[in-house]
Structure 1
Amino acid sequence: MPLRRCYPSDLTDEEWALLEPLIPAPKPGGRPAKVSRREIMNAILYVLKNGIPWRAMPHDLPHWSTVYHYFRRWQKEGVWEKAVQALVRRDREREGRPASPSALVMDSQSVKNDGKRGPRGNDGAKKVKGRKRQILTDTGGRLLKVFVHPANEHDKWGGRALLAGMGLSLWPRVRKLFVDWGYRGLKETASSLGLELEVVARPYAGVRGVWVREGAEVPEIPRERGFKPLPKRWVVERTFAWLGRNRRLAKDYEENPRVSEAWVYLGMLRLLVKRLARAA
């Protein structure tokens, strides 16, 4: 335990035991590390949960420049993504499932940008000026991959880039991909990766409020009112809700989209570590 009063975002002993093997240890030789890896992670998670600027780091946590150095270094080394993938496998096995899913779900979320420099655009459909977060999850809503790009770029383009960087060799059982209507142009891309694309969305013509698969006949029934979750794809909306509990993810505060992706991975990392520690 840290030698200070704990913050709600701090890792417990059980959570740190799960996470420690996934965080790079100090290199042998040279001067000993002055700041523990656990305190660095506690500081990063404090920023994630509370959405503060780096320079507003509390004085009883490590200096913000030290924490930012390790955050960016591990982001560039792919530590956050690899840690989430390892935790996803472990959480699936905890439920008695194979480590690799057999089906994926894809969707996007448009979020406002705080006006810093960097790529951004206007999503006219959702009236949001900022960026899109394209994510792939398993059917339990566990994040496997994220790709951030300007909000004015079409989901088809973002989805293609997301699939291209997925690394399906890590998930050998995947055969199915559930998407909404905006990704219907990805059939060839999905087929080239050995995936069967299934579009589950509202029809653009005919009866509203009825869920149909692409190519299916729209039934002639009265119009329904109110919200209904889309089959298979509702888990992605729940994942966005899980991530939204972290104030750092309420908007996109980053100049670099790759840094934005790191925060999304950290949001899922925090959730999975807490879930696994609770189940232990």
Structure 2
Amino acid sequence: MHPTCDPWLHTTRTSVYPSDCTDAEWALIAPLLPVPAALSGRGGHEHHCRRAIVDAIRYIADSGTKWRSLPVDFPPFKTVYGFYSRWVSAGVWDRINTVIREKLRYATGRKAEPSAVSIDSQSVKADMTVPAATRGYDGGKKINGRKRHIAVDTMGLILVVMVTGAGVQDRTAARDLLFALSQRFPTIARVWADSGYQSPIADLARELYGFVVEIVSKLAGQRGFVVQPRRWVVERSFAWLMHRRRLCRDYERKPEHAEGFVLVASIFVMARQLSKMES
């Protein structure tokens, strides 16, 4: 990559992978990235275009490959990982997810902030790279690994994600999840959840945050998979995430890096949807 390549507008790299940003997607994402140090007067110089960096991170998320196995047409893996890690710590992925989600909600005739959400969790096996201190065993699902706790709006768009050891009960994690929702989305009035979030979580949410928690239980005599009212939306969100191979298993040493890849996958889905709507 030529060192004078403009990090905001273009890249000399040819798009060849399905995960690469289209021009329309890049137009949505580029303005939301941190300003390069060289352009903000803090010195330094970036030798790789931001679009190539973002494409490399999306490639990791989509293909599930190791950082060291990045194809040679991307910047060096240490450079890409460095950007990914710094942007996780700085909350960049969360901000991008928020802005694109709001734009997508506006494009479908909705207000920027939701009034109703669905919450659920998903246990996934952890690779041997995941330290014992941040993993656990889900006895119900018989999975040794981590658990993703998410809250989504009525479109299935991710509002909050939290990653814990798989042994953490849904009711325990729900306290932090509901607190995060109350801090970030004061417009929320109703929360749909399954029976794993029964009282006292429902009582706590009502007393502390004014949320009405509605438990959507299985139908009497239900066997096998049945689409549940309201809750099918969050189940579909998990299905969207699992299209990204990096998320079929947890490989991240740090839970916050695992949360980052959930947000990258979410941005992936929303940017595609929004760019098609605007084209």
Q: TM-score, normalised by structure 2?
A: 0.90
What are the residue-to-residue correspondences of 1:83-162 with 2, within 5 Å? 83-116=96-129, 117=131, 118-162=133-177
Q: Distance in 1 between matches of 2:217 and 2:98?
A: 28
Q: Which residue of 2 aligns with 1:243?
A: 241
How many residues align? The count is: 261
How far did 1:156 drift? 0.3
Q: Distance in 2 between matches of 1:109 and 1:153?
A: 11
Q: Please state if 1:48 is matched with 2:87.
A: no
Q: Deviations over 1:15-59 (max 9, x none)?
A: 100011211120223233211111110111011111111111111
How far did 1:4 drift? 3.3
Q: Please state if 1:62 is matched with 2:75.
A: yes
Asked whether the 8 Å contact 2:13–2:52 carries over to 1, the reply is no
Q: Distance in 2 between matches of 1:31 and 1:133?
A: 37
Letter in 2 for 1:163: L
Task: Tell me the secondary structure at the aligned position of residue 198 of structure 2.
Answer: helix
Task: Tell me the secondary structure at the aligned position of residue 3 of structure 1.
Answer: coil
- Paired residue for 1:5, among 14, 26, 46? 14
Q: Please state if 1:262 is matched with 2:276.
A: no
Task: Tell me the secondary structure at the aligned position of residue 153 of structure 1.
Answer: coil
Asked whether the 8 Å contact 1:51–1:246 carries over to 2, the reply is yes
How far did 1:3 drift? 2.4
Q: Which residue of 1 aligns with 2:4?
A: none
How far did 1:177 drift? 0.4
Q: Which residue of 2 aligns with 1:213?
A: none
Asked whether the 8 Å contact 1:246–1:267 carries over to 2, the reply is yes
Q: Deviations over 1:239-277 (max 9, x none)?
A: 000011101001000121111100001100011111111
How far did 1:169 drift? 4.7
Q: Distance in 1 between matches of 2:228 and 2:268?
A: 27
Superposition CA RMSD, Å: 1.4
Q: Deviations over 1:113-141 (max 9, x none)?
A: 01221411111111111111000000110
Q: Which residue of 1 aligns with 2:6?
A: none
Report the identity percentage: 40
Q: Please state if 1:171 is matched with 2:185.
A: yes
Q: Which residue of 2 aligns with 1:227?
A: 225
How far did 1:227 drift? 2.6
Q: Distance in 1 between matches of 2:124 and 2:29?
A: 29
How far did 1:90 drift? 0.8
User: Structure 1 stretches of 5 or more lacking a match?
Assistant: 210-224
Q: Distance in 2 between matches of 1:249 and 1:105?
A: 20
Letter in 1 for 2:256: R
Asked whether the 8 Å contact 2:11–2:49 carries over to 1, the reply is no
Task: Tell me the secondary structure at the aligned position of residue 122 of structure 1.
Answer: strand
Task: Tell me the secondary structure at the aligned position of residue 201 of structure 1.
Answer: coil
Asked whether the 8 Å contact 2:149–2:173 carries over to 1, the reply is yes
Task: Tell me the secondary structure at the aligned position of residue 11 of structure 2.
Answer: coil
Q: TM-score, normalised by structure 1?
A: 0.89
How far did 1:178 drift? 0.4
Q: Which residue of 2 aligns with 1:194?
A: 210
